[in-house]
């Protein structure tokens, strides 16, 4: 009798593990999704308000340095067949409340070093 119970439990365990791809798992995006078109709108000399208008609020503002903003986007895929997990980030440094440098995983436009006319 115990052997039959053990075989039934073993059979249920093996068949349920074979069905793990049937379970739907959602993708979990976190942070600021930045579109390439919006990043290409950045220019040297833009004010903090202009950057917020173009990109939105940063995920993190440095507590000790108000002139450094971090934009981070993290995607955790629920299922491998929808792609790999990835993270994109961008750091914007300001001098005198104006954009000085931008670093990160995004390609800037060719006109980045041309300031906007105020």
Residue pLDDT, tens place only, 43-96: 999 999 999 999 999 988 778 888 899 999 898 888 777 888 888 999 999 999
Alpha-carbon distance 105 to 31, whole Å? Answer: 15
Could you tell me the domains of the chain? Answer: 24-109 (3.30.1450)
Q: Is the pLDDT of residue 101 over 60?
A: yes
pLDDT in tens, 25-44: 788 888 888 888 888 989 99
Q: Count Cβ atoms within 10 A of the Cβ of residue 109 and give its class: 0-12 exposed, 13-18 middle, 19 or more buried.
A: middle
Other beta carbons within 10 angstroms of residue 75's beta carbon come to: 17
SS3 string, 49-80, reads HHHHHHHCCCCEECCCCCCEEEEEEEEECCCH
CB 52 within 8 A of CB 34: no
Query: What pLDDT is recorded for position 66?
Result: 85
pLDDT at 115: 78
């Amino acid at each position: 009798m115990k052997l039959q119970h053990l075989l039934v439990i073993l059979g249920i365990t093996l068949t349920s593990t074979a069905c793990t791809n049937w379970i739907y798992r959602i993708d979990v995006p976190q942070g600021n999704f930045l579109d390439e078109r919006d990043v290409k709108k950045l220019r040297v000399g833009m004010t903090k308000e202009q950057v917020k208008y173009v990109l939105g609020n940063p995920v993190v503002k440095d507590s000790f340095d108000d002139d450094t903003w971090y934009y981070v986007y993290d995607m955790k895929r629920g299922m491998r067949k929808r792609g790999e997990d990835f993270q994109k980030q961008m750091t914007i440094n300001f001098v005198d409340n104006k954009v000085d440098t931008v670093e990160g995983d995004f390609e800037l436009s060719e006109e980045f070093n041309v300031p906007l006319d105020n």
